[in-house]
Amino acid sequence: MPNKTIYVADDDLPLLARAQDLTGTALSATIVTAVRRLVETEEAKQSGFDEITVKVGVGKAGVKRFLGTALGEWKASTGEGEETYSLFRTSKGRFAVHHARSELHIPVGPHAERSRKWTTGWRGWLGDWSPDQAWLHTPAQATFAVVDTPDELALLLPPELFEIALLTIQSEPDIEDLDI
Protein backbone atom coordinates (compact mmCIF):
# COMPACT_ATOMS: atom_id res chain seq x y z
CA MET A 1 0.00 0.00 0.00
CA PRO A 2 1.47 3.39 -0.94
CA ASN A 3 2.32 5.87 1.79
CA LYS A 4 1.11 9.46 1.73
CA THR A 5 2.51 12.18 3.91
CA ILE A 6 0.10 14.69 5.35
CA TYR A 7 1.50 17.85 6.83
CA VAL A 8 -0.45 19.16 9.80
CA ALA A 9 -0.01 22.50 11.53
CA ASP A 10 1.05 22.31 15.18
CA ASP A 11 -2.17 24.05 16.19
CA ASP A 12 -4.22 21.22 14.62
CA LEU A 13 -2.45 18.34 16.38
CA PRO A 14 -4.81 18.38 19.40
CA LEU A 15 -7.76 18.13 16.99
CA LEU A 16 -6.29 15.03 15.34
CA ALA A 17 -5.52 13.49 18.72
CA ARG A 18 -9.09 14.11 19.88
CA ALA A 19 -10.51 12.60 16.65
CA GLN A 20 -8.39 9.51 17.16
CA ASP A 21 -9.52 9.23 20.81
CA LEU A 22 -13.19 9.51 19.80
CA THR A 23 -13.00 6.88 17.07
CA GLY A 24 -10.61 4.52 18.84
CA THR A 25 -8.88 3.69 15.56
CA ALA A 26 -5.58 4.48 13.92
CA LEU A 27 -5.14 8.07 12.77
CA SER A 28 -5.10 7.05 9.11
CA ALA A 29 -8.46 5.24 9.46
CA THR A 30 -9.91 8.26 11.27
CA ILE A 31 -8.80 10.59 8.48
CA VAL A 32 -10.16 8.29 5.76
CA THR A 33 -13.55 8.08 7.56
CA ALA A 34 -13.73 11.87 7.79
CA VAL A 35 -12.72 12.36 4.15
CA ARG A 36 -15.23 9.70 3.01
CA ARG A 37 -18.05 11.54 4.83
CA LEU A 38 -16.90 14.88 3.38
CA VAL A 39 -16.89 13.49 -0.19
CA GLU A 40 -20.32 11.88 0.27
CA THR A 41 -21.80 15.09 1.66
CA GLU A 42 -20.31 17.37 -0.98
CA GLU A 43 -21.34 15.09 -3.87
CA ALA A 44 -24.90 14.98 -2.53
CA LYS A 45 -24.95 18.78 -2.18
CA GLN A 46 -23.78 19.14 -5.78
CA SER A 47 -26.68 16.89 -6.79
CA GLY A 48 -29.17 19.23 -5.11
CA PHE A 49 -29.49 17.59 -1.69
CA ASP A 50 -29.08 19.32 1.67
CA GLU A 51 -27.87 18.09 5.02
CA ILE A 52 -31.06 17.78 7.07
CA THR A 53 -31.15 17.50 10.85
CA VAL A 54 -34.30 16.61 12.80
CA LYS A 55 -34.90 16.11 16.51
CA VAL A 56 -36.59 12.89 17.62
CA GLY A 57 -37.81 11.23 20.80
CA VAL A 58 -39.68 12.38 23.86
CA GLY A 59 -38.75 15.95 24.65
CA LYS A 60 -36.87 15.92 21.32
CA ALA A 61 -33.88 14.30 23.01
CA GLY A 62 -32.14 12.73 19.99
CA VAL A 63 -30.97 13.96 16.61
CA LYS A 64 -31.07 12.31 13.17
CA ARG A 65 -29.01 13.73 10.30
CA PHE A 66 -29.19 12.72 6.65
CA LEU A 67 -28.80 14.04 3.11
CA GLY A 68 -32.06 14.78 1.34
CA THR A 69 -34.47 17.29 -0.11
CA ALA A 70 -37.81 18.50 1.26
CA LEU A 71 -40.92 17.31 -0.61
CA GLY A 72 -43.64 18.81 1.57
CA GLU A 73 -44.88 19.71 5.02
CA TRP A 74 -48.27 19.49 6.73
CA LYS A 75 -49.11 21.43 9.91
CA ALA A 76 -52.15 21.50 12.15
CA SER A 77 -52.86 23.26 15.41
CA THR A 78 -55.58 22.90 18.00
CA GLY A 79 -56.13 24.41 21.40
CA GLU A 80 -54.12 21.50 22.78
CA GLY A 81 -50.99 21.81 20.64
CA GLU A 82 -49.40 21.58 17.19
CA GLU A 83 -48.54 18.70 14.92
CA THR A 84 -46.18 18.72 11.92
CA TYR A 85 -45.39 16.10 9.28
CA SER A 86 -42.31 16.76 7.11
CA LEU A 87 -41.55 14.62 4.06
CA PHE A 88 -38.10 14.26 2.48
CA ARG A 89 -36.50 12.32 -0.35
CA THR A 90 -33.11 10.99 0.75
CA SER A 91 -29.99 11.07 -1.37
CA LYS A 92 -30.28 7.28 -1.70
CA GLY A 93 -33.80 7.53 -3.22
CA ARG A 94 -35.79 6.60 -0.11
CA PHE A 95 -38.46 8.64 1.69
CA ALA A 96 -38.11 10.01 5.21
CA VAL A 97 -41.01 11.21 7.37
CA HIS A 98 -40.52 13.36 10.46
CA HIS A 99 -43.61 13.67 12.67
CA ALA A 100 -43.42 16.22 15.49
CA ARG A 101 -46.03 16.97 18.10
CA SER A 102 -45.71 19.92 20.48
CA GLU A 103 -46.15 19.73 24.21
CA LEU A 104 -49.80 19.00 24.95
CA HIS A 105 -51.85 20.87 27.53
CA ILE A 106 -55.16 19.00 27.89
CA PRO A 107 -57.95 19.60 30.41
CA VAL A 108 -59.04 16.38 32.15
CA GLY A 109 -61.42 15.36 34.93
CA PRO A 110 -65.08 16.08 35.61
CA HIS A 111 -64.83 19.74 34.53
CA ALA A 112 -62.77 19.14 31.38
CA GLU A 113 -65.46 20.41 28.97
CA ARG A 114 -65.86 23.66 30.90
CA SER A 115 -62.07 24.13 30.95
CA ARG A 116 -61.87 23.41 27.20
CA LYS A 117 -64.49 26.12 26.58
CA TRP A 118 -62.34 28.65 28.44
CA THR A 119 -59.31 28.01 26.20
CA THR A 120 -61.03 29.04 22.96
CA GLY A 121 -62.01 32.38 21.41
CA TRP A 122 -62.26 35.49 23.55
CA ARG A 123 -62.54 33.35 26.70
CA GLY A 124 -58.94 32.28 26.15
CA TRP A 125 -57.84 35.84 26.85
CA LEU A 126 -59.71 35.90 30.15
CA GLY A 127 -58.98 32.37 31.31
CA ASP A 128 -60.89 30.14 33.68
CA TRP A 129 -60.30 31.29 37.24
CA SER A 130 -62.28 28.50 38.93
CA PRO A 131 -60.31 26.39 41.44
CA ASP A 132 -61.60 22.99 40.29
CA GLN A 133 -59.41 22.34 37.24
CA ALA A 134 -57.21 19.43 36.20
CA TRP A 135 -54.73 19.46 33.32
CA LEU A 136 -52.56 16.85 31.66
CA HIS A 137 -49.18 17.97 30.33
CA THR A 138 -47.09 15.82 28.00
CA PRO A 139 -43.67 16.69 26.61
CA ALA A 140 -43.05 17.35 22.94
CA GLN A 141 -42.50 14.18 20.93
CA ALA A 142 -41.13 13.43 17.49
CA THR A 143 -40.67 10.29 15.42
CA PHE A 144 -38.68 9.54 12.28
CA ALA A 145 -39.34 6.80 9.74
CA VAL A 146 -37.70 5.85 6.44
CA VAL A 147 -39.54 3.88 3.75
CA ASP A 148 -38.76 2.74 0.24
CA THR A 149 -42.02 3.11 -1.68
CA PRO A 150 -44.86 5.62 -2.05
CA ASP A 151 -47.31 2.91 -0.90
CA GLU A 152 -45.57 2.80 2.47
CA LEU A 153 -45.91 6.58 2.76
CA ALA A 154 -49.72 6.34 2.77
CA LEU A 155 -49.56 4.78 6.25
CA LEU A 156 -47.34 7.57 7.64
CA LEU A 157 -48.76 10.79 6.19
CA PRO A 158 -52.03 12.75 6.44
CA PRO A 159 -54.07 12.23 3.22
CA GLU A 160 -53.58 15.84 2.04
CA LEU A 161 -49.78 15.62 2.22
CA PHE A 162 -49.78 12.16 0.67
CA GLU A 163 -51.69 13.44 -2.38
CA ILE A 164 -49.19 16.26 -2.91
CA ALA A 165 -46.31 13.87 -2.30
CA LEU A 166 -47.56 11.54 -5.03
CA LEU A 167 -47.62 14.40 -7.54
CA THR A 168 -44.11 15.47 -6.54
CA ILE A 169 -42.72 11.93 -6.57
CA GLN A 170 -44.24 11.00 -9.92
CA SER A 171 -43.12 14.13 -11.74
CA GLU A 172 -39.33 13.99 -11.65
CA PRO A 173 -37.81 17.28 -12.79
CA ASP A 174 -35.92 17.40 -16.07
CA ILE A 175 -32.28 18.31 -15.58
CA GLU A 176 -30.62 20.32 -18.28
CA ASP A 177 -26.89 20.92 -17.94
CA LEU A 178 -26.03 24.33 -19.32
CA ASP A 179 -22.57 25.32 -20.49
CA ILE A 180 -23.00 29.05 -20.15
Give per-residue pLDDT as tens, 24-41. 888 888 888 888 888 888
The reported pLDDT for the residue numbered 22 is 86
pLDDT at 94 over 60: yes
Q: What is the maximum span of the chain, computed from C-alpha positions, in angstroms?
A: 79
pLDDT at 124 over 60: no
End-to-end CA distance of the chain: 42
The reported pLDDT for the residue numbered 11 is 92
State the average pLDDT over residues 125-138. Answer: 68
pLDDT tens-digit readout, 39-72 = 888 888 888 889 999 999 987 678 999 999 999 9
State the pTM of this model. 0.69
pLDDT at 144 over 90: yes
Confidence of residue 127 (pLDDT cuts 50, 70, 90): low
pLDDT at 125 over 60: no
Q: Can you tell me the distance from the alpha carbon of 75 to that of 168, in angstroms, rounded to the nearest whole number?
A: 18
State the CB neighbour count (10 A cutoff) for residue 8. 11
**Cβ-contact 136, 106 below 8 angstroms:** yes
Where is average pLDDT lowest: 13-17, 84-88, 155-159? 13-17
